[in-house]
């Protein structure tokens, strides 16, 4: 049995050595980590013997780490004049016995680096895996904080002196302000003169603005007159052409009738052409009449002056159907829908005829122009709200919209971007 036991022992010893090496590696890494900490750190066992110190602790008491480890505090007291017994041994016994933390506040230490103030904390600490209880001590440098508190105390002690100094400074500043105020008073006359000049410039600017507005009005009037002339010239030209053509046809018809060989078919054809010419004349005259009626309705004097009481939602709905009927048989009318959001009981007092005219032209504008490039889902949405004794009507459609360069001119009377007279948009 003994030959087989030797390999097992060897494997066991090998595992132990590997475990020892692993623990040493971890311990070395821990030592390197603690040594990199800028705060003084030390570890002692229950007998007060140093197990480990970092370089910051060694610098604090001015003793090399090699001479500290393995010794108690009493053996170090005579090695350096910078030894502070409180930071080294004070509270160690209490930590071991109570197994609780022990703190030393604002401990002052003087060494080669100067005067320092530390907060010291000592904690119960189990050394390695042995289960031995020791003391872990680390100190935090609070010198700047401590000095700031002392400075604050000094500042409080001399507060009255500082206040007196501030009063003197404020008096000097007040005198400077008085001097500045005197300077401002001295420059008031100059400011008054500048204000007069500015007022004069403003008057000139207002007069110039009025002139520009007048020029713009005449420009808009010129465009409107041009549009009216174009709208009237077209049917007039068509009418003249139709009358001339009919006149020529009648002359030819009279010449043919005077001949005995003329047949009934030729006479009928000539009369049909004359009738077509007269139809053109009639439609042109009707077009001019519609244009003049539209121009007449641009003034409120053509509407009833008295106000009517009517339900707004009902008027809008009825006018929508009426506008569609007037445009019959325009293709796609059945795809135009009205989405109205209005209190069905909302009654207003206004010119009913004027409201009908406005909504009629809005509906026509959407159907004829806004939906000209839309094939389906043509929707006009109207939202009516009531506040402060006023009715706000928001009108929109999902048509092609208005181009940016047209928006600035859209409220000009008779403005249009089409080949027909524009009279539908009101300011």
Give the confidence band of 314 by pLDDT, cuts at 50, 70, 90. Answer: very high
Most confident listed range (15-29, 101-115, 163-177): 163-177
Nearest to 421 by CA among 336, 351, 359, 364: 364
Give the confidence band of 359 by pLDDT, cuts at 50, 70, 90. Answer: very high
* pLDDT: which is higher, 253 or 170: 170
- Give tens-digit pLDDT for 270-300: 777 777 777 777 777 777 776 666 666 655 4
Strand partners, 308: 350
- Give tens-digit pLDDT for 92-151: 888 888 889 888 888 787 776 778 888 888 889 887 656 688 888 888 888 888 888 777
- Give tens-digit pLDDT for 198-229: 889 888 888 888 888 877 776 766 666 666 66
Cα–Cα separations (whole angstroms), residue 32 to 27, 35, 60, 162, 252 = 9, 5, 18, 51, 125
Average pLDDT, integer, range 63-72: 86
Torsion of CA 60, 66, 67, 71, to 10 degrees: 100
pLDDT at residue number 262: 60
pLDDT at residue number 328: 79
Put simply, whether the predicted model's pTM sits higher than 0.85 gets the answer no
Q: Is the pLDDT of residue 54 over 70?
A: yes
CATH topology for the 304-407 domain: Heat Shock Protein 90 (3.30.565)
Q: How long a stretch of residues is the chain?
A: 427
For the 13-146 domain, the top CATH level (class) is: alpha beta
- Looking at the chain, the whole-number percentage of residues with pLDDT higher than 90 is 12
Give the confidence band of 316 by pLDDT, cuts at 50, 70, 90. Answer: very high
Give the confidence band of 245 by pLDDT, cuts at 50, 70, 90. Answer: confident
* pLDDT: which is higher, 179 or 5: 179
Average pLDDT, integer, range 73-80: 74
* pLDDT: which is higher, 189 or 236: 189
Lowest mean pLDDT among 131-140, 355-364, 417-426: 417-426
pLDDT at residue number 423: 45
């Amino acid at each position: 049995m003994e030959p087989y036991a030797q390999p097992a022992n060897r494997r066991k010893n090998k595992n132990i050595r590997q475990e020892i090496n692993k623990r040493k590696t971890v311990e070395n890494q821990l030592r390197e980590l603690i040594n990199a900490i800028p705060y003084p750190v030390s570890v002692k066992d229950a007998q007060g013997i140093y197990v480990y110190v970092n370089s910051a602790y060694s610098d604090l008491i001015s003793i090399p780490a090699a001479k500290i480890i393995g010794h108690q505090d009493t053996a170090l007291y005579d090695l350096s004049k910078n030894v502070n017994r409180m930071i080294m041994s004070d509270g160690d016994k209490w930590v071991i016995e109570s197994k609780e933390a022990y703190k030393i506040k604002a401990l002052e230490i003087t060494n080669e680096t100067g005067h320092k103030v530390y907060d010291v904390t000592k904690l119960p600490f189990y050394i390695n895996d042995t289960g031995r209880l020791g003391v872990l001590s680390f100190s935090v440098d609070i010198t700047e904080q401590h000095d700031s508190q002392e400075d604050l105390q000094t500042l409080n002690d001399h507060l009255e002196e500082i206040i007196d100094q501030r009063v003197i400074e404020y008096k000097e500043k007040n005198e400077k302000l008085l001097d500045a105020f005197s300077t401002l008073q001295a420059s008031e006359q100059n400011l008054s003169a500048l204000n007069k000049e500015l007022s004069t410039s403003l008057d000139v600017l207002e007069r110039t603005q009025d002139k520009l507005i007048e020029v713009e009005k005449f420009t808009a009037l010129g465009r409107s007159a041009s549009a009216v002339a174009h709208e009237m010239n077209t049917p007039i030209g068509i009418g003249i052409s139709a009358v001339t053509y009919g006149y020529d046809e009648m002359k030819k018809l009279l010449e043919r009738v005077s001949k005995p060989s003329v047949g009934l078919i030729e006479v009928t054809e000539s009369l049909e052409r004359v009738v077509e010419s007269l139809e053109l004349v009639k439609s042109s005259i009707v077009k001019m009449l519609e244009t003049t009626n539209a121009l007449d309705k641009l003034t409120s004097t053509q509407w009833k002056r008295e106000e009517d009481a009517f339900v707004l939602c009902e008027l809008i709905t009825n006018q929508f159907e009426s506008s569609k009927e007037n445009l019959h048989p325009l293709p796609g009318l059945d795809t135009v829908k009205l989405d109205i959001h209005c209190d069905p009981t909302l009654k207003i007092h206004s010119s009913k005829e004027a409201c009908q005219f406005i909504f009629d032209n809005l509906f026509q504008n959407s159907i004829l122009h806004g939906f000209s490039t839309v094939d389906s889902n043509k929707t006009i949405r109207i939202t009516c709200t009531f506040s402060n004794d006023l009715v706000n009507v928001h009108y929109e459609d999902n048509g092609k919209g208005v181009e940016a360069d047209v928006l600035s001119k859209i409220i000009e009377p008779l403005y249009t971007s089409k080949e027909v007279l524009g009279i539908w948009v009101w300011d």
